[in-house]
Amino acid sequence: MKDSVIRQVETSASRTELDALADLLVDSSPQEILAEAVHCFPRMTFATGFGIEGCLLIDLIARSGLRIDVFTLDTGLLFPETYELWRRLESRYGLTIRGVRPEKTVAQQAAIFGDRLWERQPERCCGMRKVLPLREALAPFEAWVSAIRRDQTRERAGVRILEWDATFGLVKVNPLALWTSEQVWSFVRSNDVPFNLLHEQGYPSIGCVPCTSRVLSGEDPRAGRWRGREKKECGIHSRVESRAVSWNLERKETSHDVQAG
């Protein structure tokens, strides 16, 4: 199949056409972007991490009645406040947010790779607990929605509203790519959207408990993620193959070697 075809024979949209559609949607609202995207790519899912942007998109999906599957990556290491928010969102909007979990529990991972892998090899931990489960969860779909914005990190500065995700092999929809943090919070406050209470306690970016810390005044909003390391992405939104992706591709061989040894 030629490179110009987005997803084998399942869609006729070429990458050039995808870029053209993204350009047409530049002045559209996130709600309009979602509606157009699901029209073009009916088999669509949204992977939410329950950040403030994700809560906003859940609100739009539910209020607009869009047929978009919704799931989250339950690493087994989320904050209690995140699990509580999960329940609140389902209750508020009357939808089911599927929990996608890693192959191994935290205890099973520790038995094979040693305790607190996230401290010694965070890329491997992210690969096994987030990247691989996401890859498998996205397999049945032709497009997925993310809540990332251009101004969040240097790595995300070039994201487009619609783009081809070469890491996972499908279309990626970024309805909030051009929005600012101020716009997101204004929408959330105006529409009484549920959000994680940790956001009001010094946690602008929330991930797994061991790899998330409070952010001090004047620090970058993601300074609390993997503090003390250059790492600022788990590998899910990397525009090139990350070490986390490489770890997950090597997982079976490595796991087998460790158990055999």
Residues with catalytic function: 234
Output the six-digit token pair for 6. 């987005």
Query: What residue type is assigned to position 122 of the chain?
Result: P
Comparing CA positions, the residue from 49, 90, 63, 56 lying closest to residue 203 is 49
Buried b (16+ CB within 10 A) or exposed e, 38-54: bebbebbbbbbbbbbbb
| H-only helix segments in the chain | 15-24, 30-40, 52-64, 80-93, 106-113, 117-120, 122-126, 132-138, 181-190, 243-249, 251-260
Kindly report the number of other CB atoms within 10 A of residue 255's CB atom: 16
**What letter does residue 158 receive in the DSSP assignment?**
T
Comparing CA positions, the residue from 240, 213, 241, 250 lying closest to residue 229 is 213
The three-state secondary structure class of 72 is strand
